[in-house]
């Protein structure tokens, strides 16, 4: 009896134990299955991801920005270079509590926390461990403060980046341009890895044109870091390749002279060699290009774009205005080449020209009397050119104006150049649906009406007259120098076209232009410089009718005439061409002429020989290009 009970008890215990063992085995198998499944997920399905995260948590590859190439003058003067700048950066993945760190940064550096949170949020979707710049260009005091509290600010680092520095802040900002943060569309235009979000790229001027040369190639740094992102060891380093340098054609002294002469004025000055090299290209008002070096703030940007004088507008290549009597040289060349008038033929000027029921006034109310072409240019007789214009017709005037590059972009290395406008019969018919009227030819013949040109076009037109052979393509870049491979690539002068105008015609025109300055009856005698021959042409372009602008200098600024003057010197062998445009500046001879005079003197004369403009009695308004009176 007792034996049976023992057997039964042993059997029950064994059965119980076996069940426990089976349960334990099942649980172990399930656990092992879960572990294996998890390992499969981590190592097979997500293995590459976590390997990358593991490596990134220990190893970091940091991009080293490439120093931008330097811009030099031909005399090896540094015009744009780089200075070190210090950025306050945050790597969110190295920060256990981003909000806490941002709170501290906000108090320590007086930075808006919400703005910083937006920057951190914008980082989502970008590569991990990519720094977020919280503040650029830290002063020394703030940089020292950040380094002192580095242990209390996990994920915060101070990075050194090159900042664009323009050695003379006000020098040629419209030429050099500025940098700006690259946008997604621009990133997509380049091969992968060339740029990333936050990089700076040339946005305007030569900085944009020369981006392919100036940008250089980024380097990289592979480091080992601890759990807080602090660098422990440098494992590998690739030095960045410095960008190539640009050598520009600008004459620094002449550029400074132009900008000084334009101070407190609205307008442009262009100085060129007859072969096309730009010696000075100034536009006023200007701006400080250094504001854009690491990103301009909204307030400063808004101030620039809302300024009624439009300081970002490069008036040398973007303002399109009637050239006034400067255009009479085109009419004269067309008349001589087409033989519609003999240069010795006299045309009587009573002070007006009548066409049908319309009267076109000459700027000189009493008239010039009988004048031939030479005197008509020297004294800028409107009546003479009304007469010649009617004999030519607008299409022949159009032919010669476009031959000299007017109405078309010059192709200079600057963005957003305007083409101007030279009308023709077909153009007006297509544009308005209305046939060309003979009276409109009178306005065109003296550079009014539909005609629009830029100061650079006018300078280039005179370069063609000065060299007598071709219309050059203006250029600002002399050479590209790459220190990385010690190479030099000259930028050759190019011509737009050969000039199919007879040497006899050009010689006559140059003689007449010299008379404008040196003849006692010329409209630009105050431009004369003892010891130099200067050939030039004044121009006064009407903005509104004489009735609205009758107050002269007392009229509202927006109603005043535009002033033009263009010249070459020395006439017998020109070395420089200068074009001056003053927006609402008044008369060409009295307002624009003296500026051109000083430019010529600055380039051609030693300082000891420079003399002030001769004192002259008032002569009344120079070349007030007339409008028609019904």
Check residue 553 and give its pLDDT.
60
CA dist., res. 613 & res. 619, Å (int): 15
CATH (domain of 212): 3.90.1310.10
Do 273 and 331 lie in a common domain? yes
Check residue 169 and give its pLDDT.
59
Helix/strand/coil for 56: helix
Residue 286 lies in a domain: yes
pLDDT interval class at 53 (50, 70, 90) = low
Distances (CA, A) of 300 to 465, 617, 625: 43, 46, 40
Do 486 and 455 lie in a common domain? yes
CA dist., res. 282 & res. 175, Å (int): 8
How confident is the prediction for the chain on average, in pLDDT? 86
Query: Angle between the 438-445 and 382-392 helix axes, to the nearest 10 degrees?
Result: 130
Do 211 and 275 lie in a common domain? no
Helix/strand/coil for 8: helix
Burial class of 55 by CB neighbour count within 10 A (0 to 12, 13 to 18, 19+): exposed
Bridge partners of 277, per DSSP, are 475
pLDDT digits (tens, 9 = 90+) for 236-264: 668 888 899 999 999 999 999 999 999 99
Check residue 227 and give its pLDDT.
57
Do 564 and 424 lie in a common domain? yes
Residue 539 lies in a domain: yes
Check residue 550 and give its pLDDT.
45
Check residue 3 and give its pLDDT.
52
Judge if the upstream peptide bond of residue 270 is cis by omega within 30 degrees of 0. no
CA 127 to chain centre: 33
Do 40 and 68 lie in a common domain? no
Residue 52 lies in a domain: no
Instruction: Please answer whether residues 71 and 246 qualify as being in contact, where contact means their C-beta atoms are separated by less than 8 angstroms.
Output: yes
Is the model's pLDDT at 312 over the cut of 70? Answer: yes
Is the model's pLDDT at 114 over the cut of 90? Answer: no
CA dist., res. 343 & res. 371, Å (int): 10
CATH (domain of 486): 3.40.710.10
Per DSSP, the residues of 201-245 read: EEEEHHHHHTHHHHS-B-EEEEEEE-TT--EEEEEEEEPPBPPPE
Instruction: Please answer whether residues 446 and 469 qualify as being in contact, where contact means their C-beta atoms are separated by less than 8 angstroms.
Output: no
Check residue 475 and give its pLDDT.
96
Do 534 and 578 lie in a common domain? yes
Check residue 126 and give its pLDDT.
67
**Structural domain of residue 162, as residue ranges?**
60-248
Is the model's pLDDT at 431 over the cut of 70? Answer: yes
Of 127, 136, 75, the C-alpha closest to 294 is: 136
Is the model's pLDDT at 472 over the cut of 70? Answer: yes
Check residue 232 and give its pLDDT.
62
Do 205 and 262 lie in a common domain? no
Do 121 and 242 lie in a common domain? yes
Q: Residues with Cβ < 8 Å from 607, sequence gap 6 or more?
A: none
Check residue 609 and give its pLDDT.
56
Of 362, 364, 343, the C-alpha closest to 353 is: 362
> CB-hemisphere CA count at 13 Å for 106?
12
Do 103 and 39 lie in a common domain? no
> Vertex 186, ends 180 and 187: CA angle to 5°?
105
pLDDT interval class at 403 (50, 70, 90) = very high
Do 136 and 240 lie in a common domain? yes
Burial class of 65 by CB neighbour count within 10 A (0 to 12, 13 to 18, 19+): middle
pLDDT digits (tens, 9 = 90+) for 551-580: 456 667 677 889 999 999 999 999 999 999
> CB-hemisphere CA count at 13 Å for 494?
13
Check residue 484 and give its pLDDT.
76
Check residue 626 and give its pLDDT.
46
Bridge partners of 539, per DSSP, are 564
Helix/strand/coil for 437: coil
Alpha helices (H) in 81-204, listed in sequence order? 98-109, 113-122, 140-148, 173-176, 184-188
pTM for the complete prediction?
A: 0.83
pLDDT digits (tens, 9 = 90+) for 139-189: 888 888 888 888 888 888 888 877 888 876 568 999 999 888 888 888 888
Residue 501 lies in a domain: yes
pLDDT cut 90: percent of the chain above it: 51
Q: Would residue 172 be called left, alpha or beta, if left means φ above 0 and alpha means ψ between -120 and 50 degrees?
A: left
Residue 346 lies in a domain: yes
Helix/strand/coil for 403: helix
Which residue is associated with the tokens 């000075």?
280
Residue 620 lies in a domain: no
Q: Residues with Cβ < 8 Å from 292, sequence gap 6 or more?
A: 164, 178, 179, 180, 203
Which residue is associated with the tokens 């990133």?
187
Residue 582 lies in a domain: yes
Check residue 231 and give its pLDDT.
61
Do 14 and 120 lie in a common domain? no
CA dist., res. 594 & res. 602, Å (int): 12
Helical (H) or strand (E) element with 383 = helix 382-392
> What are the φ/ψ torsions at residue 581 (nearest 5 degrees)?
-130, 125
Is the model's pLDDT at 615 over the cut of 50? Answer: no
Give the number of other Cβ atoms within 10 Å of residue 570's Cβ. 17
- Rg of the chain (C-alpha set): 37
Token code pair at residue 339: 């033989």
Check residue 318 and give its pLDDT.
97
Bridge partners of 180, per DSSP, are 201
Give the number of other Cβ atoms within 10 Å of residue 268's Cβ. 29
Is the model's pLDDT at 614 over the cut of 60? Answer: no
Count of domains observed in the chain? 3
Residue 10 lies in a domain: yes
CA dist., res. 263 & res. 266, Å (int): 8
Do 38 and 80 lie in a common domain? no
């Amino acid at each position: 009896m007792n034996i049976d009970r023992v057997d039964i008890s042993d059997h029950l215990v064994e059965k119980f134990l076996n069940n426990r063992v089976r349960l334990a085995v099942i649980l172990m198998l399930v656990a092992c299955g879960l572990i294996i499944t998890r390992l499969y997920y981590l190592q097979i399905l997500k293995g590459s991801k976590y390997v990358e995260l593991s490596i990134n948590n220990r190893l970091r590859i940091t991009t080293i920005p490439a120093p931008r190439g330097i811009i030099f003058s031909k005399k090896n003067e540094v015009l744009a270079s780089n200075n070190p700048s210090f950025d306050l950066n945050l790597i969110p993945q190295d920060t256990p509590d981003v909000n806490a760190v941002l709170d501290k940064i906000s108090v320590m550096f007086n930075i808006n926390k919400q703005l910083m949170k937006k920057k951190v949020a914008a980082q989502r979707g970008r590569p991990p461990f990519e720094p977020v710049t919280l503040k650029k260009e830290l002063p020394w005091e703030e940089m020292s403060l950040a380094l002192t509290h580095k242990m209390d600010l996990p994920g915060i680092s101070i990075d050194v980046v090159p900042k664009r520095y323009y050695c003379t802040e006000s020098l040629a900002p419209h030429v050099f341009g500025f940098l700006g943060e690259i946008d997604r569309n621009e990133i997509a235009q380049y091969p992968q890895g060339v740029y990333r979000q936050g990089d700076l790229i040339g946005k305007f001027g030569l900085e944009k044109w020369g981006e392919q040369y100036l940008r250089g190639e980024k380097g990289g740094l592979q480091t080992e870091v601890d759990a807080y992102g602090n660098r422990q060891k440098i494992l590998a380093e690739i030095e960045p390749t410095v960008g190539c340098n640009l050598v520009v054609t600008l004459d620094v002294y002449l550029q400074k002279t132009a900008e000084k002469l334009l101070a407190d004025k609205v307008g442009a000055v262009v100085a060129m060699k007859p072969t096309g090299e730009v010696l000075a290209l100034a536009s006023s008002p200007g701006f400080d290009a250094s504001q854009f070096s690491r990103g301009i703030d909204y307030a400063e940007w808004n101030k620039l774009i809302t300024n009624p004088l439009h300081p970002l507008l490069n008036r040398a290549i973007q303002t399109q205005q009637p050239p006034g009597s400067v255009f009479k040289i085109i009419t004269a060349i067309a008349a001589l080449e087409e033989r519609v008038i003999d240069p010795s033929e006299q045309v009587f000027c009573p002070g007006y020209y009548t066409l049908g029921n319309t009267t076109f006034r000459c700027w000189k109310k009493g008239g010039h009397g009988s004048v031939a072409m030479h005197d008509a240019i020297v004294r800028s007789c409107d009546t003479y050119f009304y007469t010649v214009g009617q004999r030519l017709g607008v299409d022949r005037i159009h032919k010669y104006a476009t031959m000299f590059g007017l109405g078309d972009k010059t192709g200079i290395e600057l963005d957003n150049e305007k083409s101007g406008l030279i009308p023709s019969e077909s153009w007006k018919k297509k544009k308005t649906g209305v046939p060309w009227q003979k009276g409109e030819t009178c306005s065109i013949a003296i550079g009014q009406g539909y005609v629009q040109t830029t100061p650079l076009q006018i300078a280039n037109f005179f370069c063609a007259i000065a060299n007598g052979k071709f219309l050059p393509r203006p250029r600002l870049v002399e050479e590209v120098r790459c220190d990385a491979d010690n190479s030099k690539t000259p930028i050759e002068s190019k011509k737009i076209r050969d000039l199919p105008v007879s040497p006899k015609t050009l010689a006559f025109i140059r003689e007449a232009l010299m008379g404008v300055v040196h003849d006692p009856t010329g409209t630009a005698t105050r431009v004369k410089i003892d010891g130099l021959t200067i050939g030039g042409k004044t121009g006064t372009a009407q903005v509104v009718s004489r009735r609205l602008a009758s107050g002269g200098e007392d009229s509202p600024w927006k109603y005043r005439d535009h002033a033009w003057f263009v010249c070459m010197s020395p006439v017998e062998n020109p070395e420089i061409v200068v074009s001056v445009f003053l927006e609402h500046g008044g008369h060409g001879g009295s307002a624009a002429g003296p500026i051109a005079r000083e430019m010529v003197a600055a380039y051609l004369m030693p300082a000891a020989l420079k003399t002030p403009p001769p004192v002259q009695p008032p002569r009344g308004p120079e070349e007030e290009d007339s409008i028609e009176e019904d």
